[in-house]
Amino acid sequence: MTPEELQSIALKKHEENGKFKHCLHVCVGSGCCSSQADQVLKNLTDGVKKGGVDKDVRVIGVGCMGLCANGPMVSVDDNQPLYQHIKPTDAPTILNALDKAPPDEMVCDTDQPFFKRQMQVVRENSGRVDPEDISDCIAHGAYASLAKALTTMSPGDVIQEVTKSGLRGRGGAGYPTGLKWSTVAKASGPDGRGQKYVVCNGDEGDPGAFMDRSVMEGDPHRVLEGMCIAGYAVGASKGIVYVRAEYPLAVKRLNKAINQAVRNEILGRNILGTNFNFDLEIRLGAGAFVCGEETALIASIEGNRGTPRPRPPYPANSGLFDCPTLINNVETFANIPPIIARGSSWFANIGTEKSKGTKIFALTGKVKNTGLIEVPMGITLREIIYDIGGGIPDGKAFKAVQTGGPSGGCLTEKELDIPVDYESLAKAGSIMGSGGMIVMDETSNMVDVARFFMEFCMSESCGKCIPCRVGTCQMHALLDKIYNRKATPGDLALLRELCDMVKATSLCGLGQTAPNPVLSTLKHFENEYLERIQTSGATNAHGPSAHNGHEVNA
Amino acid sequence: MIAPNTSASVQSLTLQIDGKDVSCRSGQTILDVARENAIDIPTLCFLDGLSLWGGCRLCMVELAGSPRLFAACATQCAEGMQVVTDSPRLLAYRKTIVEMLLCERNHVCAVCVSNGHCELQSLAQKLGVTHVHLPYRYPKLEVDSSHDRFRLDHNRCILCTRCVRVCDEIEGAHTKDVKGRGIKSFIIHDLDQPWGEAESCTTCGKCVHVCPTGALTDKGTAVAEMAKRRQFLPYLTQMRETHS
């Protein structure tokens, strides 16, 4: 296929879409599908056929629209109107109301801050395009950036553009993407053949996080396009999308997208009439959180046990099969097409001085509007929780928000006005992380929160290094003891000591960050720990006090 | 000034370890150089002749200018590096690591066949681990005595994976591997079968002799009788390197 053919596909599809009077978008993301959205889609499709209006009304399944709390969502045309809480039996009502005033009780207000305060860059097409139809995606601009990069830019230009955009890794650590790309571009393989790889990290595993899933489900071609552009920039001819097997829908749509792209000669040999070759395949993760760590992920792709190894060498120099390997997160790759299409200065205008662009967060927990949001960097946590999130439900008071999942920390009322960017969050004692954001109200017990995340780290530790393998287990036992009011002041001191030791000596990020939830809850809510600690009989630090069975009312 | 191109030849570097000026070749690790200069850095998973593992974290050292710690076995020397191997902080961490191993499973030296020949035991003595300040876990674990000549006692295993690596890399059998994860990790044979039923095992006994503790032993040994002979490993690797 040539860039001209790509354009003609887009035009033809536009023309086709234009013939319909209405288009119904049904969210068929994992969240809405769990509330029968797939049945809604089927009933609407059948209803249109039965009513004989299938020449006028187009019904498509689309990706996540964000407001998961009110799903399943159905959008008529461009949110005129947007329906919420749709059941399969509502299909006739929706079809009957197409040219009339929609029934008020089913309509979702799109003027509310949840929609108005967001800024869609990565998710601009999610909820609008049919992820399973490549021509619909092309009509909405997919692969135009790839064509632009391949035909008008050199690999060096692409890296320059990404560097100038200021994009940083969306996996959590915030490493400058352009710098990573240029490192891989300069590295040479072990055998001089120059084989390099591009790997997309889709092993999203933080509890309560589903940003990458929705991007892969809602707009898979954007991820493939980003990887393809990366391959061109760093000189790689092979890409691998590593997705956890717990995301069957994402895997299905990615597979379909890859097949369609190959059939349309957008992937493979001589892409878009140039001499650039790029093949993509999917590898499934078998359910290990640690495989989100890049060296463990590489071991897993190679067919080995998913355990991390000491760095350096970094994957940029010696990664998959010892070849230079570019590993970026799903959201990072999904940011590439808009940067190439609209230019680095447009992107660099969004966000703060050091954190550019937007960030997707999975807003969950004790907040009214749970769902997926994309906001410009620099927005405050207060705006996210109270304006976009709609505040805390049931008249309860806000207590804390956990960012960064099990590697992050909690932030309290005092920190709500700090801007959301990599540096500010780190300074406040948490991290940006991959985008999980769990809001807690006054009913949450922070010792329990710390214990929950420690249990997660304990069961996800690979067991390779001693501090993480034994340390997380010991810390979990101590937290459990504290929560059950059986601990002594000595136990708390030991917990602090282990936090410091595990953080300093663990092999990979999992162990190094596992103590963070404990440290941050200890920092902000030490009283909740202290009130559960026995003050009498403190001499017997570890032994019988756990078993003597008497409860102390603190 | 243009630097002379020395990339084809091996470069030599100088660095400081514990205040002592030492020299080394580029590509050498901190652990290599420290041992050459009789500076002791404790290790458990590391064994000359086997691939790098980096799991025990005992060889963590401080580098001037970095708040992070580095594993000496996995960190290559660089010109002008200033390494500290024995700060009070490092010693405290090392003691905790040894204590973590002692409380993780059931290490009872007094009744162990490796008493007096155990790397974990001598490390604990050297580091001054007089007591364990972490709660003991006392897990209930099995002993695999199904093999004709050898025994695997999970109670004494520290998961250093020396046996896994020697079996795979030196013997080429890959009978042993690790199952499970985290605190539930265990050494297994073939498809998690009893050792005696593992068809790939060649009964070479290399795993027994690289094991640092009494986890892998010869059958028929009584308390303190199981001394390990490691000489074969550097010999084998050297012979293979020269004759390959």
CB contact under 8 A, A505 and B103: no
pTM of the model: 0.93
Q: What angle do CA B170, B142, A468 make, to 5 degrees?
A: 70
Best probe of the B interface among A293, A457, A466, by most B CBs < 10 A, is A466
Which fold, A3-110?
A: Glutaredoxin (3.40.30)
Q: Could you tell me how many CB contacts below 8 A there are between chain A and chain B?
A: 96
Beta bridge partners of A349: none
Crossing angle of helices A446-460 and A466-483, in 10° steps, is: 150
What is the ipTM for the molecules in this complex? 0.94
CA distances from A166 to A156, A157, A334, A354, A404 (A): 16, 15, 15, 7, 21
Sort out which chain A residues have CB atoms less than 8 A from B183's CB and list them: 458, 461, 463, 469-470, 472-473
> What CATH number should be reported for the domain whose range is A358-444?
3.10.20.600
Tokens standing for residue A24: 């119904």
A380: helix, strand or coil = strand
Q: For A273, left (φ over 0), alpha (ψ -120 to 50), or beta?
A: left
- What beta strand segments (E) does chain B contain? 12-17, 20-25, 60-63, 69-71, 82-84, 143-144, 150-153, 176-179, 186-189, 216-218
Residues of B in contact with A461 (CB under 8 A): 181-183
Nearest Cα neighbor of A406 from A511, A275, A315 is: A511
Q: What is the DSSP letter of A396?
A: P
Question: CA distances (Å), A50 to each of A55, A97, A181, A523, B125, in order?
Answer: 12, 16, 53, 62, 83
Contact residues, chain A, for B185 at CB < 8 Å: 462-463, 469
One pLDDT digit (tens) per residue for chain B, 244 residues = 444 544 556 789 999 999 999 999 999 999 999 999 999 999 999 999 999 999 999 999 999 999 999 999 999 999 999 999 999 999 999 999 999 999 999 999 999 999 999 999 999 999 999 999 999 999 999 999 999 999 999 999 999 999 999 999 999 999 999 999 999 999 999 999 999 999 999 999 999 999 999 999 999 999 999 999 888 888 888 888 877 6
Q: How far A373 CA sits from the closest chain B CA (Å)?
A: 34
Yes or no, beta carbons of B101 and A501 under 8 Å apart: no
Nearest-CA distance A287 → chain B (Å)? 12
Phi, psi (rounded to 5 degrees) for A375: -130, 150
Picking from A541, A484, A475, the residue whose alpha carbon sits closest to that of residue A502 is A475
How many C-beta neighbours within 10 Å does residue A391 have? 16
SS3 content of chain B, % helix, strand, coil (to 5): 30, 15, 55
In order of start, what are the domains of chain B with their CATH numbers?
A: 12-86 (3.10.20.740), 111-232 (3.30.70.20)
From first to last of its 554 residues, chain A has per-residue pLDDT tens of 899 999 999 999 999 999 999 999 999 999 999 999 999 999 999 999 999 998 999 999 999 999 999 989 999 998 889 999 999 999 999 999 988 888 888 999 999 999 999 999 999 999 999 999 999 999 999 999 999 999 999 999 999 999 999 999 999 889 999 999 999 999 987 766 689 999 999 999 999 899 999 999 999 999 999 999 999 999 999 999 999 999 999 999 999 999 999 999 999 999 999 999 999 999 999 989 999 999 999 999 999 999 999 998 999 999 999 999 999 999 999 999 999 999 999 999 999 999 999 999 999 999 999 999 999 999 999 999 999 999 999 999 999 999 999 999 999 999 999 999 999 999 998 999 999 999 999 999 999 999 999 999 999 999 999 999 999 999 999 999 999 999 999 999 999 999 999 999 999 999 999 999 999 999 999 999 999 997 755 444 444 444 333 333 33
**Per the structure block, which two tokens stand in for B136?**
């003991």
Distance in Å, alpha carbon of A146 to nearest chain B alpha carbon: 38
Q: Where are the alpha helices (DSSP H) in chain B?
A: 30-36, 88-104, 119-127, 162-165, 206-210, 232-243
User: Residue B52: its chain A contacts at CB < 8 A?
Assistant: 309-310
CATH topology assigned to domain A447-546: de novo design (two linked rop proteins) (1.20.1440)
Q: A-chain residues within 8 Å CB-CB of B104? A: 469-470, 473
Parallel/antiparallel/unpaired status of strands A74-76 and B60-63: unpaired
The CATH superfamily of A142-348 is NADH-ubiquinone oxidoreductase 51kDa subunit (3.40.50.11540)
Q: Nearest-CA neighbor of A479 among A438, A517, A429? A: A517
**Which chain B residues are closer than 8 Å to A494 by Cβ?**
133-134
- For residues A211 and A361, the answer to whether their CB atoms sit within 8 Å is yes
Residue A140 tokens read as 């909405």
B220/chain A closest Cα distance in angstroms:
31
What residue segments make up the domains of chain A, in order of their start? 3-110, 142-348, 358-444, 447-546
- B178/A473 touch (CB, cutoff 8 Å), yes or no: no
**CA distances, A400 to each of A392, A414, A453, A512 (Å):** 11, 10, 15, 23
Q: Do B182 and A463 touch (CB under 8 A)?
A: yes
- Beta-carbon separation of B97 and A467 below 8 A: yes
Sheet of B143-144: strands edge to edge? Answer: B143-144, B150-153, B216-218
Rounded distance between C-alpha atoms, residue B28 and residue A389, angstroms: 54
Distance from CA of B121 to the nearest CA of A (A): 16
